[in-house]
Amino acid sequence: MIGRSEEQKRSGDRETGPSSKRLYGPWSRGTKMLDKHFVLRDRTKQFALRILKVCDSLPKTDAGRTISRQLLRSGTSVAANYRAVGRARSQAEFVAKLGVVIEEADESVFWLELLGEGGIVPEHRLGELTVEANELVAIFVASQQTARRTSTKRSRNVLAPPIARSPDQRLPRSPDHPITR
């Protein structure tokens, strides 16, 4: 394990704490992927902070307030839900939580486009933020597709349970089976 002291290695003590838990998703394959996870965590947090600033600068009209609330919820939710992805307990939960992140990021793109196209904020002021939101959507969609593919490969490697048979077609039992003893 990475980060174990020489004494821990000799004594066989296992590391405890969050880093010793089983990780799912792309970072389950090593530290390089774990680094990518933390980069994306920071990136989504920075995205949320930028959303906060945009929402604070929106005009205090009915449209501005309504879109501000919606954008604030969806934009900050991207970061919060991506953190939850890192705590997935299974591959299926990882894929599902990533789906929530994708929905929120895509909703943020919609509200940003609406702000620009509706003339509430000049489009050139939203350009970089909209590009970032679209990039996050693309990254998370690709990650979800990869996770689904690896999940499907794993499930194909699992042996299928025996086919159910009619009572007259019984499966042979081993001599150690409790009923045949």
Q: Is the pLDDT of residue 180 over 90?
A: no
Q: Is the pLDDT of residue 16 over 50?
A: no
HSE on the CB side for 27, CA within 13 Å? 19
The pLDDT value given to residue 177: 60
The pLDDT value given to residue 34: 74
The pLDDT value given to residue 4: 47
C-alpha distance from residue 115 to each of 25, 56, 121 (Å): 34, 13, 6
What is the average pLDDT value for the chain, to the nearest integer? 80
CATH for the 23-151 domain, from 3.30.200.20, 3.40.50.10490, 1.20.1440.60, 3.40.50.10610? 1.20.1440.60
Q: Is the pLDDT of residue 106 over 90?
A: yes
pTM over 0.85: no
Give the model's confidence band at 17: pLDDT under 50 very low, under 70 low, under 90 confident, else very high. very low
Q: 142-173 as b/e, with b when 16 or more CB fall inside 10 Å?
A: ebbeebeebbeeeeeeeeeeeeeeeeeeeeee
The pLDDT value given to residue 20: 43
Q: Is the pLDDT of residue 181 over 60?
A: no
Q: What is the CA radius of gyration of the chain?
A: 24
Q: Is the pLDDT of residue 14 over 80?
A: no
HSE on the CB side for 153, CA within 13 Å? 6
The pLDDT value given to residue 162: 52
**What are the boundaries of each domain within the chain?**
23-151
Give the model's confidence band at 37: pLDDT under 50 very low, under 70 low, under 90 confident, else very high. confident
Give the model's confidence band at 164: pLDDT under 50 very low, under 70 low, under 90 confident, else very high. low
Q: Is the pLDDT of residue 117 over 80?
A: yes
* Weakest mean pLDDT among 49-58, 119-128, 157-166: 157-166
The pLDDT value given to residue 36: 86
